[in-house]
């Protein structure tokens, strides 16, 4: 082999790069087997629809044009409705008398579950334990009676 220039033995020489491992495509797009979460925390609960609104409004997505919607939220005289087919949301004016008025339910006024009904509190971690404790030992008679009544109606929970 002839070289145009002489190479002295003290000059550094290029080393060959290592061959990279070929990763099969199936290994790249695998779903994780275990979800990472903070201990003691759970996923937030799904939103409950306030009601349904069918055949009144057309979907905001011009490709969908569905007319079946869930009423997700009410604020300042408007409803946030969500298309049942493509999940597109839009704000529309409230239709008076469309939703049935809710019966008044007991709500906790203070403590860990302030502002929640008993059903909502039981859905949270340690909520059922609290309701069972409150039915036996709560200092306010109204809370004690409401929790006792709820436990009596829901025998399988207690």
CB 69 within 8 A of CB 57: yes
Q: Give the start-to-end residue ranges of the domains of the chain.
A: 51-93, 104-158
Could you report the per-residue pLDDT of 54-104, keeping only the tens digit for each?
999 999 999 999 999 999 988 899 999 999 999 999 999 999 988 887 778
Average of per-residue pLDDT values in the chain: 82
pLDDT in tens, 116-127: 899 889 988 889
pLDDT attached to residue 39: 62
Nearest one of 101, 103, 48, 99 to 72, comparing CA atoms: 48
Instruction: Write down the pLDDT at residue 25.
Output: 58
pLDDT at 26 over 60: no
* CB of 85 closer than 8 Å to CB of 96: no
| pLDDT range class, residue 47, cuts 50, 70, 90 | confident
Number of residues written out for the chain: 158
pTM attached to this predicted model: 0.46
pLDDT band at 141 (very low <50, low <70, confident <90, very high): very high
pLDDT of amino acid 101 = 79
Spell out the alpha helix ranges (H) of 20-140.
Answer: 25-28, 118-123, 127-137
């Amino acid at each position: 082999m002839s070289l145009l220039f002489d190479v002295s033995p003290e000059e550094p020489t290029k080393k060959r790069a290592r061959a990279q491992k070929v990763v099969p495509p199936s290994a790249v797009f695998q779903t994780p087997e275990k979800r990472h979460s903070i201990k003691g925390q759970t996923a937030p609960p799904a939103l409950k629809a306030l009601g349904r609104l069918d055949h009144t409004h057309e979907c905001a997505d011009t490709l969908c044009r569905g007319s079946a919607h869930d009423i997700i939220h009410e604020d300042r005289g408007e409803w946030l409705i969500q298309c049942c087919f493509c999940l597109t949301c839009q704000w529309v004016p409230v239709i008076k008398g469309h939703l049935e008025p809710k019966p008044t339910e007991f709500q906790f006024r203070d403590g860990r579950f302030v502002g929640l009904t008993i059903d909502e509190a039981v859905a949270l971690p340690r909520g059922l334990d609290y309701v069972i404790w409150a039915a036996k030992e709560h200092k306010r008679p109204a809370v004690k009676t409401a929790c006792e009544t709820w436990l009596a109606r829901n025998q399988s929970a207690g």
